[in-house]
C-alpha cells in the first residue's frame, strides 16, 4: 500500500489525478472517508473554497481547474492532506457534467460538495442518536442498581449485552 506520505510529492509531478492513480483502492477509500469528514467539520463555506480556486458558484459559466481546487482545499480545510484532497476531488470530478476532468463547472462542484456535506452531517446525526440511545439505556441500568453496588466483569458485560453493546473481555482487562 502506498502511504499518504509517499503520495504527497507526486502531486507536483503528475497533478491530482496522478496522485490518485498511485494509491491502492483500499487506501483511496480510507482517504476519501477522512476527506469527507474533514470537509464536513470545516467551517469554511463551499463557495469560499471555490472562490479561492478562481471559480464563482453564482456564475453559470464559471469553471475551476482541478489542481486549483485542490490547492484551495488544502489551504482552507484544516487537517486535509494532499492525498485526501486528491482522492476527494477525483471522486467529485467523476460525478460532474464535465468532459474534461481537469476543468470543472464551479456550480456542479459547489452542488456536489454541498450535497456531500449534507449526507455526512445526516449520517453523523444518525450515529449520535444511536449512540446516545444506547448510552442512555446503559446509564439507566447503572443508576437503577444504586450508588453502592459493585459489579464484576460478568455482570457489567451482561448489562452491556442486554443493551446491544458487545464488548470483548480484552476491554475489561
Residues 95-115 pLDDT 10s: 777 778 889 999 999 999 999
Contact 101, 17 (CB under 8 A): yes
The model scores a pTM over 0.85 = no
The predicted structure's pLDDT at residue 78:
95
Read off the pLDDT of residues 110-129 as tens digits, 9 standing for 90 and up: 999 999 999 999 988 887 77
State mean pLDDT over 88-96. Answer: 86
Amino acid at each position: 500500500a502506498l502511504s499518504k506520505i509517499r503520495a504527497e510529492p507526486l502531486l507536483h509531478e503528475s497533478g491530482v489525478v496522478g496522485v490518485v492513480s498511485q494509491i491502492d483502492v483500499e487506501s483511496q477509500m480510507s482517504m476519501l472517508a477522512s476527506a469527507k469528514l474533514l470537509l464536513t467539520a470545516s467551517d469554511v463555506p463551499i463557495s469560499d473554497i471555490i472562490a479561492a480556486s478562481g471559480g464563482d458558484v453564482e456564475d453559470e459559466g464559471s469553471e475551476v481547474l482541478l489542481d486549483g481546487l485542490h490547492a484551495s482545499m488544502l489551504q482552507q480545510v484544516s487537517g486535509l492532506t494532499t492525498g485526501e484532497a486528491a482522492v476527494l476531488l477525483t471522486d467529485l470530478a467523476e460525478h460532474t457534467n464535465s468532459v474534461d476532468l481537469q476543468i470543472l463547472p464551479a456550480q456542479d462542484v459547489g452542488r456536489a460538495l454541498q450535497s456531500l456535506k449534507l449526507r455526512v452531517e445526516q449520517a453523523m446525526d444518525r450515529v449520535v442518536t444511536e449512540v446516545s440511545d444506547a448510552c442512555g439505556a446503559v446509564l439507566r441500568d447503572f443508576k437503577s442498581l444504586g450508588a453502592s453496588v459493585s459489579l464484576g466483569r460478568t455482570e457489567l458485560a451482561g448489562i452491556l449485552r442486554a443493551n446491544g453493546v458487545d464488548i470483548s473481555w480484552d476491554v475489561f482487562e
